[in-house]
Amino acid sequence: MLRSWSFEDAALRPATRGWVLAGLLVAGSITAWLLALTPETSLARTDTTILVALEQIGLAAVAVRLRGRTRGLFVVAALAAVLVSVLVADAGSLSRLVLATSAYTYLVLYAAYAFEPRLMRALLAVVVAGSVLAGLFSPLGLRPVVWLATVGGISVAGWVIGQLVTRLRFYATIDSLTGVLTRTAFDAVAMTAIAGARRRAEPIVLAVIDLDEFKSVNDQHGHAAGDVMLGRVVDAWRGRLRAQDLLGRIGGDEFVLLAPGTTMEGAARLLVDLAEVCPLAFSAGLALAAPGEDVAALRRRADAGMYEIKRSKPRPVA
């Protein structure tokens, strides 16, 4: 059955999130070096600080390599939080403790941007647990006031920002009437799916679908009835589509469907299945992805096929 999108998995992020994490880790490494070399910070040169700075550089390289893998980036961020906890445990003065705990900020804010709520909460758990354990092992001991003012505040702010980012991303990527992907979101996900099909040497077909009778529904019953009809159409299709199929709404009554691992013949049969359950007649064009072809070019070919079929149909008599 076609996948249903929700707040929990509305995070459609580009692979650049790996570069963002790498940049933050490099910046953190440079900051640690500067603090270790600057007497005014009371963060005198220590083997622990220098070692953590070097390890952050290594994690930055891993983040770049895993930039397209959400779980891999989560592991990198969690390890970076562990390194910050090492600095907290090594803190020998109150000022150094505050500086060390402030390093959690960048990781928490990154998680709010890059991860879906489940992984965001998991990273917050790593930060909270790591900071508490580090405080217990620190020569200064666990300072509740300092912890609440730094880690506690960072965690609450990160959770709130994560909730807001998830909702903004959801409303930007999910069509509110039908629950399928918007045009921009569809193109982003389809690009990844097409690249994966090429790596696996599998066929992948894109279909552009236009509802022939939708205008008459709006004209005769009003736009509210048209909105209800769009939802009925998508609900009818859901049972005939697979979880790996992608469905998006790219216009008022125009949809786009991507079928991975499907030949042109298989896609044609799928359209017959969709027509059987659809409450409205539709016209559809198909295009098999060619080597090196992007989503826009593939959609143009399918769109041309759809209009050719629509023009070949008899016009309704007024």
Which position among 253, 273, 294, 303 bears the catalytic label?
A: 253
How far is it, in rounded angstroms, from Cα 296 to Cα 287? 12
Q: What is the DSSP string of 101-114?
A: HHTHHHHHHHHHHH
CA distances to 33, 194, 215, 270, 300 from 210, rounded to whole Å, are: 59, 22, 11, 15, 14
Give yes or no for a contact between 146 and 166, defined as CB atoms under 8 angstroms apart: no
How far is it, in rounded angstroms, from Cα 161 to Cα 231? 31
The 8-class DSSP code of residue 128 comes to: H
Question: 3-state SS of the chain: helix, strand, coil percent to 5?
Answer: 65, 10, 25
How far is it, in rounded angstroms, from Cα 125 to Cα 246? 33
Known active-site residue 227: no
Per-residue burial over 89-103, b if 16 or more Cβ lie within 10 Å, else e, is: bbbeeeebbebbbeb
How far is it, in rounded angstroms, from Cα 269 to Cα 118? 38
Please name the helix (run of DSSP H) or strand (run of DSSP E) that holds residue 170, with its range, or none. helix 153-173
How far is it, in rounded angstroms, from Cα 289 to Cα 177? 29
How far is it, in rounded angstroms, from Cα 34 to Cα 36? 5
Provide the token pair at 266. 């298989």
Instruction: Name the 3-class secondary structure at 116.
Output: coil
Q: List the catalytic residues.
A: 253
